[in-house]
Structure 1
């Protein structure tokens, strides 16, 4: 399937490492003008060193106004990937107010904030677009010690669907991608324990965790015109975990 993003400006949040970094590099390789956003300047500089065509923006998504200003400064944006996320993994009875606030601030609130800025600009320009939000299988299946994370990703799914409903008439598609465990740095936080990993693997019919490239493939497809009639979906990239 031939996919090109020539002439498209693409914003990727959480692009300093993991899925976001590989996605930024892939999108740039496909001809897009990528804007990589992260709060960690060192990670962004390393990304830029690998591909100098990628524009970098350093901002803390927890800061509502600074984030809006940063995104407005790189407009126009044609395509958006809300990838940034955090994982605070405690048992239900041990969750703190800070765990809840930080998780929802990054995983949900910042997604709404960035998307508002981009969507308003697209509507003003009368330009269609595509937004992909990174969710998780944890939005649809409860996982031990993932209470706040699961709740935040459930919110991402419904945020994505309501965005699709309201932005669809403006020819702006919104979809979510819901991966299983991907052994990025964040994935290792929850699944580096072999016993815990074994339990999860036993529930995945394909018998393995996902690769970063497999998530990137799904995001690229949903961003592209090849998915022009797909809007408002949550796409599992989970080896069949949610089918069980």
Structure 2
């Protein structure tokens, strides 16, 4: 029996990176996993790699379509709001379009999916655990990340509000706040020593996070081992936020 046998889990942004690795891990740990992404090709390759999970192709920026898609999956006992958009722009030239894209996916879609999942669990008097993927960028200003940092600060406060209102009804809510993570995209984006050097200098452990570092933290927060952890932002940052 796996740790999550009998549990139904939903991972958003599951086509690549952290979400993909997490969906596979949760499936290996016995959960019935629903992997959600807007990119069909990524879901097809994920299904080929891990046939036991179910893929869900929907664009989370579409409030109604996303809501209907998630309703069909309930009950969901374990939810990970991982989907995110990032568009780097300096403050003075940040556009309303980039603002809308990032807040729609990073904050609004998180609220939408969580309302459906938590509302169903509460109506059925079932317990659940939700993990929101935030970032060190929610607590530290990072050059050219004005809108992204602002969305993650909003994720942190929404996590606290969800924890406050949902935990009395049996649904715990926490967040994980990683530093730069060495996904395929992360390796490309942070391969330049001129860019990576200053950030690494601020991380006491002297390295960026690997995907598995973040997956392990999420698994802990989803599990009963963290039963008294609620409304918490868990940094996976090698000490970045401590320095």
TM-score by length of 2: 0.98
How many residues align? The count is 243
Contact 2:2–2:30 (Cα < 8 Å) also in 1: no
Contact 1:14–1:38 (Cα < 8 Å) also in 2: yes
1:111–1:96 CA distance, 2 compared to 1 (3 A): same
Q: What is the root-mean-square deviation of aligned Cα atoms in Å? A: 1.2
> Secondary structure at the residue paired with 1:181?
coil
Alignment of 1:61-100 (within 5 A): 61-100=60-99
Contact 1:205–1:241 (Cα < 8 Å) also in 2: yes
Deviation readout 1:12-66 (Å, 9 max, x if unpaired): 0000000000000000000000000000001001111111110000000000000
Alignment of 1:3-152 (within 5 A): 4-152=3-151
Bigger mean CA offset, 179-188 vs 98-107: 179-188
Aligned residue for 1:178?
Answer: 177
Aligned residue for 1:228?
Answer: 227
Deviation readout 1:145-185 (Å, 9 max, x if unpaired): 01001000000000000000000111100000000000224
Shift of residue 186, structure 1, vs aligned partner: 4.2
Contact 1:177–1:218 (Cα < 8 Å) also in 2: yes
Q: Which 4+ runs in 1 deviate beyond 6 A? A: none
Contact 2:183–2:210 (Cα < 8 Å) also in 1: no
TM-score by length of 1: 0.97
> Secondary structure at the residue paired with 1:152?
helix
Aligned residue for 1:163?
Answer: 162
Shift of residue 3, structure 1, vs aligned partner: 6.5
